[in-house]
Structures are given as structure tokens and as C-alpha cells.
Amino acid sequence: MSSELSALVPVLFGHATFQQLNAGCELGLFELLDTDGPLPAGTVAETLGLSRRSTDILLLGTTALGLTEVAGGEYRNGAPVAAVFRHGLWPVLRDIVQYQDRIAYLPAADYVESLRTGENVGIRHFPGTTRDLYSRLAAVPGLEELFYRGMHAWSQLSNPVLLAQHDLARARRVLDVGGGDAVNAVALARAHPSLRVTVLDRPGALEVARKTIAEAGLEDRVETYPADIFADPYPPGHDCVLFAHQLVIWSPEQNLALLRKAYDALDPEGRVLVFNAFTDDDRTGPLYAALDNVYFTTLPFRHSTIYRWADCEQWLREAGFTDVGRTAASGWTPHGVVSGRRPA
């Protein structure tokens, strides 16, 4: 029985598990061990400016979790953290951890109340009276920047499956609905040198987007279009409409409305692409989607959730799209693309 019950440890202390990772990031432990490791605890304490007691507590936590390793009294990064550095993903992981810490963490404590009421109760942590997180971002200085730095990292981590879509190799002009800071628009324009992209979003998001586009030197091929995704018409002349990390926010009815708008805006033979994480059709996982759903339940909007692949495919068919298909990513996140064609 005791070994069965030990599976409860990382669950019971889930909040503490994240805080060990967060502390290792914030205090500079992993960066130090990457550049100078292996190091004895005393040198870690001295270099990080921590007491020996704090250092021992932190190293115990990170080592027990496999985030660091010790041999002969010297510490180095553990396999998952070392792999993040080796693949050049450290800035991406650091921004994602910061997003979890500063945006998702406190609202997650409102999970029970959110399930009870069916409301995104965690939004109370951000000032405002509107019911979705995005329209509240502008009210807190620095929040828009913090949010899009995190979203940028999530997209960068997961968008290779989108960039590899065959439909995009054939496309001429993409409308990126709710395109945020243009992370995917810029990546698409880089991957497909003759592609033009229009990023449609709120004015606040587009301020950040224009910086991303200018930094990439892509002002000639990536443009911005301020509009409300529900209330305003979509600009014509696009043969591909992309919803990236968008249909996880809204209800099935709202998603159907968005897909119908995309259908009407598309050229005949145009494609729609839905890119985000998906839940298995049999509702058994994956773990990533199951746990990320705490964020979606507590924060973005009252209907936000990671839907099943089959749900998304069904909405596309209902909106009139044909040739509906799915492509799952091969990475460690359950991202993928559901695509469809507007018949001629």
C-alpha cells in the first residue's frame, strides 16, 4: 500500500514542485550550473548570494526532482534542464516559467470555485470589469508585455507543427485571427518567403506585434489590422485563415461563429487552420492538457478549455469546410493543427 500511496507525493505537493523550478530559474541556479557547473554547494551559495541554509534547501528540492544532480559533492543540471540548454530553449522555458508564476499561479487557487460556479473566478486577480483576461491586460502597467512574452514563448515552443503545414506552402496570404504579438505571423513569413500575413487583434496587442514585426524586418510582408474578432468584419483577400491558441478560449458556439466568419472571409479553395493543444478523443489525457486546463478553467474566459480533436473537426464541418484533417506535433506538448478547405 505504501508504494501505491507514494504516487500521491508529487500531486499533494504540486504547488511546491513548481516553486522549486521557479526558484531555480529566478535565483539563477540553472544558468550558473550551465555555465560553470559542476559546482559544490558552497560555491553555488556564494555566487548566487544566498545563505548556505537557503542553498541547501533549494538544492535538495531541485535534486530530488531531477532538475539538478549531485556527484562527488558537486552539482550540475539534471537531464531535462540540461536538454533545454542544449537545444537553445532556455530563454523560452524561462519566459514560460515566469508566465506560470506571475499570471497563472495565484488564479489556479480558484480552481474549485471555478468548477463550482462555471466562471473563470481567477480573473479577480486582474483589475477590470470585463469577463475575459485579454481585455484586462491594458489596465496593469507591464502586464501586456509580460503576457505576450509568455505567449510568444509558448508559441515558439509549439509552432513547428504549424510551420510545416503543407497548406501554408501553397498559401499566398494568411489572416492570423487573434494573432497576438505576431509570433506565429513572423515565424510563418520567415518559413515561407513569399507569404504575406495580416495580424488581426486588439490595438494593445498590435502595439507589441509591431515591435516583433519591426525587429524581424518584415514590415513589407506582415501587417496589422485592429479589429474585434467577433464584432468586426474580417478583411478580404486571404486564402488562409489561422486561429492560433484562439479556439481554446471560447465556447463551442462562439468557435462555430468564428469559423463561419473565417469561411465567409476566405477565398474559394481557401484553407482554415486551427493551431493549439488538443485533448485525446477518449478524454484520458494527455497529462499536459489535463493540467493546463486548470489555467483555462480559472483565467482566460468562463468557457475556456482544451477541446478534443474531434470537437474541433466537427465545428469545421458544421461551418461548411471540407477535407477536414488533423496533424499532431511530435514534440512533448500535445499541440497540433486541424485544417479544412472552403469548397470552390
Ligand X SMILES: C[S@@+](CC[C@H](N)C(=O)[O-])C[C@H]1O[C@@H](n2cnc3c(N)ncnc32)[C@H](O)[C@@H]1O
Which chain residues interact with ligand X by CB under 6 A?
Answer: 134, 151, 155, 178-180, 183-184, 201-202, 205, 228-230, 244-246
Q: How far is the CB of 224 from ligand X (least distance, A)?
A: 12
In the complex with ligand X, which residue's Cβ is closer, 39 or 208? 208
Q: How far is the CB of 45 from ligand X (least distance, A)?
A: 38
Q: Which residues pair with 339 in a beta bridge?
A: 273, 325
Q: Which residue is nearest to ligand X (CB)?
A: 180
Give kind and range of the element (H or E) at residue 325. strand 322-328
Query: Residue 168 corresponds to which cell in the numbers above?
Result: 501554408
Q: With contact defined as beta carbons under 8 Å apart, do 250 and 177 qualify?
A: no
Cell numbers 465556447 correspond to 251
Query: Which residue's CB is nearer to ligand X, number 32 or number 133?
Result: 133
Residue 29 CA to residue 187 CA, distance in Å, equals 31
Taking the least distance from each CB to ligand X, the nearer of 151 and 195 is 151
Residue 59 vs 152, nearer CB to ligand X: 152
HSE-up (13 A, CA, CB side) for residue 97: 21
Contact between residue 36 and residue 47 where contact means Cβ atoms under 8 Å apart = yes
Three cell numbers, residue 218: 518584415
- Closest separation in Å from C-beta 25 to ligand X: 21
Say if CB 249 and CB 300 are below 8 A apart. Answer: yes
- Written as nine digits, the cell of 103 is 499570471
Comparing CB distances to ligand X, the nearer of 151 and 262 is 151
**CA angle, 219 then 223 then 225, to 5°:** 150
The rounded distance, in Å, linking the Cα atoms of 65 and 54 is 17
How far apart, in whole angstroms, are the C-alpha atoms of residue 196 and residue 137? 28
In the complex with ligand X, the residue whose CB is nearer, 202 or 303, is 202
Q: How far is the CB of 157 from ligand X (least distance, A)?
A: 11
User: Which is closer to ligand X, CB of 136 or CB of 196?
Assistant: 136
Strands across the sheet containing 196-201: 222-226, 196-201, 173-177, 238-244, 266-277, 335-341, 322-328
Q: How far is the CB of 155 from ligand X (least distance, A)?
A: 4
Whether the CA torsion 204, 138, 272, 92 is positive or negative: it is positive
- CB of 197: closest distance to ligand X in angstroms? 12
Q: What is the closest distance, in whole angstroms, from the C-beta atom of residue 236 to ligand X in the complex? A: 18
Residue number, 39 or 249, with CB nearest to ligand X: 249
Cβ at position 219, least distance to ligand X in Å: 19
Question: What minimum distance in Å lies between the beta carbon of 93 and ligand X?
Answer: 16
Cβ nearer to ligand X, comparing 75 with 134: 134
Cα 280 to Cα 106: distance, rounded to the nearest angstrom: 28
**For residue 225, what is the enclosing H or E element?**
strand 222-226
